[in-house]
Amino acid sequence: MIITVASYKGGVGKTTTAIHIAAYLQKKAPTLLIDGDIIRASTHWMQRSEGRGLPFKVVDETQGIKAAREYIKGHVVIDTEANPSRVDFKAVAEGCDLLIIPTVAETTATDGLIYTLKALRDIGTARYKILINKVRPKPNRDAHKLRSELENTGISAVFDTEIPNLIAFDKASAAGVPVYDVKDDDNAMRAWAAYQAAGKEILK
């Protein structure tokens, strides 16, 4: 399976999603993460590991095609750059089995989501699913409102799973590991459970 994580808006948890979806899929079959982000966010995450590392291989897009040949019976996750050109976005949207669009329930992120969905309509592809990220705890209802707005406009391709806004993800990035390897945060396993649930939705 080829999964691409893309958004026209930065700061919505794109790399965090790519890392953790790859970590989940690696537990099912060999998985490759291709870092197509211009700032090499996934590569830098891996390099901060100090020996512990990530459980899957990370390469940049110049190595991606060659490396992907070894994962025909596994999975490939592609972390794309924010605000891609229309040509690049069309290529990544059409070249995958599922396009994951992370978003955050805030005005600027929603504007980016609307722009991304418009680009998808222009392309004419339906192989996408929206993942609501950085969800703040109750009584905040911003994520619920966003989900309702999407449903009211006829958009049903939304993960049931929502990813909570937890410092454990920042700690995981700083340490260069998946969040389940963060040892000094009681919410680390809660954070991992959210991505496990999203992974199960992908494979279902």
* CATH 1.20.120.530 matches 2-197: no
Structure confidence at residue 85 (pLDDT): 73
Most confident of 59-73, 99-113, 122-136, 182-196: 182-196
Please, which residues bridge with residue 58 across strands?
Answer: 33
Helical (H) or strand (E) element with 2: strand 2-5
Instruction: For residues 34 and 92, give the distance between their C-alpha atoms in angstroms, rounded to a whole number.
Output: 12
Virtual CA dihedral for 61, 65, 70, 72, nearest 10 degrees? 110
Largest CA distance in the chain: 48
Q: Return the residue matching tokens 């790399």.
A: 15
Q: Which two tokens stand for residue 111?
A: 């504007």
What confidence tens digit (pLDDT) does each residue in 27-73 have?
A: 999 999 999 998 999 999 999 986 677 999 999 988 988 999 999 99
Considering the entire predicted model, what is its pTM?
A: 0.92
Instruction: Check residue 82 and report its DSSP letter.
Output: S
Domain ranges in the chain are 2-197
Q: Which one, of 188, 104, 191, 100, lies nearest residue 140 by Cα?
A: 104
Side chain identity at 11, as an amino acid letter?
G
Instruction: For residues 7 and 14, give the distance between their C-alpha atoms in angstroms, rounded to a whole number.
Output: 7
Residue 18 confidence (pLDDT) above 90: yes
Instruction: For residues 52 and 182, give the distance between their C-alpha atoms in angstroms, rounded to a whole number.
Output: 11
Instruction: For residues 84 and 101, give the distance between their C-alpha atoms in angstroms, rounded to a whole number.
Output: 13
Instruction: For residues 11 and 18, give the distance between their C-alpha atoms in angstroms, rounded to a whole number.
Output: 13
* 45-74 as b/e: b if 16+ CB within 10 A: bbeeeeeeebebbbbeeeebeebbeebeeb
What confidence tens digit (pLDDT) does each residue in 149-182 have?
A: 888 888 889 999 999 999 999 999 999 999 999 9
